[in-house]
């Protein structure tokens, strides 16, 4: 049942609930050094309220994520949490929704700002709205003034070693996931995205050259119903898009500017019926004389219903010097439906293989 190498690492264990921290050994891709809160104690969220963002109540998710020590955060039961302000997460945290049906919805989203080593796993994030800003506590011993939030599902700002896995995301006011301002060492895997316009932004500004160091892996995700564009939209950095299933888009799937390197391997791209949206790639931010030198490669992809992936760059591109954990070895695109079969949140139950 566990059909890809990340899932095979932990999902076939009946005792997953007694050994939750094994998950931290399973991440691959550019975020492979992320171990989250595996060196810390468990914190059980027992209260789904979020009334006081300056002095969060013990037992709430907000109280858990502002602790400065490493923590592995789990949930006592099924919860629907409406965040009254953006949830500012400290470093060395795992937010693990396995064993409960956890929804973050109808309020603000997650903010990972100038932090590192964070895992978010098995959570529903949907219908995120802009936050009003104001005074918000971001750690045990500090609070500060925040401006109005954009309404991103997950905002990654100047952060590194981030792993997002088995998340179901839809209908956020701005992006589902944004990674900007020098963020790097990120893996986004086994997620299911639906019902959204601008899905994923990796690099927010053509003028912010520090994003040239950004490295992001997208693996085993399903880009599903009612998506328009930005799966992802990239600037500057290096992006490995491997064994994802693109079953819907209305404008384009992968776009970019500022000469990003995009290596697409073993994905399935099913073009929409609209004859004006058959092309997977989008580079209209630059002239052809400029983008023809960008390294955009397609290897082992399956292109269906007239889908077109326009490659670019030198005919003999430079050899990629990454180890096997950084660059996930792709399967042929024909295997993608099976590899992504369980994308999104899982219905995990104790003493049963997840």
d(C-alpha 110, C-alpha 159), whole Å: 13
Structure tokens that stand for 274 in this block: 């609209």
Catalytic residue among 11, 146, 230, 283: 230
What are the backbone angles phi and psi of residue 244, rounded to the nearest 5°? -100, 155
3-state secondary structure of 105: strand
CB 56 within 8 A of CB 24: no
Q: Are strands 296-299 and 268-270 parallel, antiparallel or unpaired?
A: unpaired
As a residue count, the chain comes to 354
What are the backbone angles phi and psi of residue 83, rounded to the nearest 5°? -80, 125
d(C-alpha 16, C-alpha 352), whole Å: 8
Which residues in 125-149 are b (16+ Cβ under 10 Å) and which e? bbbbbbbeeeebbbeeeebeebeeb
CB 208 within 8 A of CB 231: no
Task: List 157's β-bridge partners, or say none.
Answer: 113, 180
Neighbours of 124 (CB within 10 A): 19
Which residues in 172-207 are b (16+ Cβ under 10 Å) and which e? bbbbbbbbbbbbbbbbbbbbbbbbbbbbbbbbbeee
Neighbours of 156 (CB within 10 A): 26
Structure tokens that stand for 304 in this block: 């269906």
Give catalytic status of residue 230 as yes or no.
yes
Known catalytic residues are 230
């Amino acid at each position: 049942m566990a059909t890809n190498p990340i899932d095979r690492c932990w999902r076939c264990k009946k005792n997953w609930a007694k050994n939750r921290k094994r998950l931290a050994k399973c991440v691959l891709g550019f975020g492979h050094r992320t171990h989250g809160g595996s060196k810390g104690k468990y914190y059980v969220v027992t209260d789904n309220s979020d009334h006081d963002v300056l002095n969060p109540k013990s037992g709430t998710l907000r109280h858990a994520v502002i602790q400065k020590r490493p923590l592995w955060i789990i949930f006592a039961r099924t919860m629907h949490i409406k965040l009254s302000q953006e949830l500012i997460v400290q470093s060395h945290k795992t937010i693990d929704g396995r064993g409960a049906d956890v929804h973050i919805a109808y309020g603000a989203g997650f903010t990972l700002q100038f932090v590192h080593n964070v895992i978010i796993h098995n959570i529903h994030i949907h219908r995120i709205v802009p936050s009003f800003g104001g005074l918000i506590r971001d750690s045990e011993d500090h609070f500060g003034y925040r401006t109005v939030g954009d309404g991103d599902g997950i905002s990654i700002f100047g952060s590194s070693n981030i792993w997002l896995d088995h998340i179901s995301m839809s209908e956020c006011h701005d992006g589902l996931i944004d990674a900007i301002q020098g963020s790097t060492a990120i893996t986004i895997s086994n997620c299911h995205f639906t019902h959204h316009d601008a899905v994923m932004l990796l690099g927010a500004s053509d003028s912010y050259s520090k994003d040239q160091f950004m490295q992001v892996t997208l693996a085993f995700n399903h880009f599903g119903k009612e998506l328009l564009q930005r799966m992802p939209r990239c600037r500057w950095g290096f992006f490995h898009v491997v064994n994802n299933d693109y079953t819907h888009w209305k404008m384009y799937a992968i776009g970019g500017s500022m000469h990003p390197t995009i290596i697409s391997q073993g994905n399935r791209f099913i073009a929409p019926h609209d004859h004006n949206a058959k092309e997977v790639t989008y580079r209209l931010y630059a002239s052809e004389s400029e983008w023809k030198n960008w390294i955009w490669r397609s290897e082992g992809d399956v292109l269906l219903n007239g889908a077109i992936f326009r490659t670019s760059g030198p005919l003999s591109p430079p050899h990629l010097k990454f180890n096997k954990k950084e660059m996930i070895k792709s399967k042929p695109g024909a295997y993608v439906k099976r590899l992504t079969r369980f994308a999104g949140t899982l219905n995990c139950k104790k003493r049963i293989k997840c």
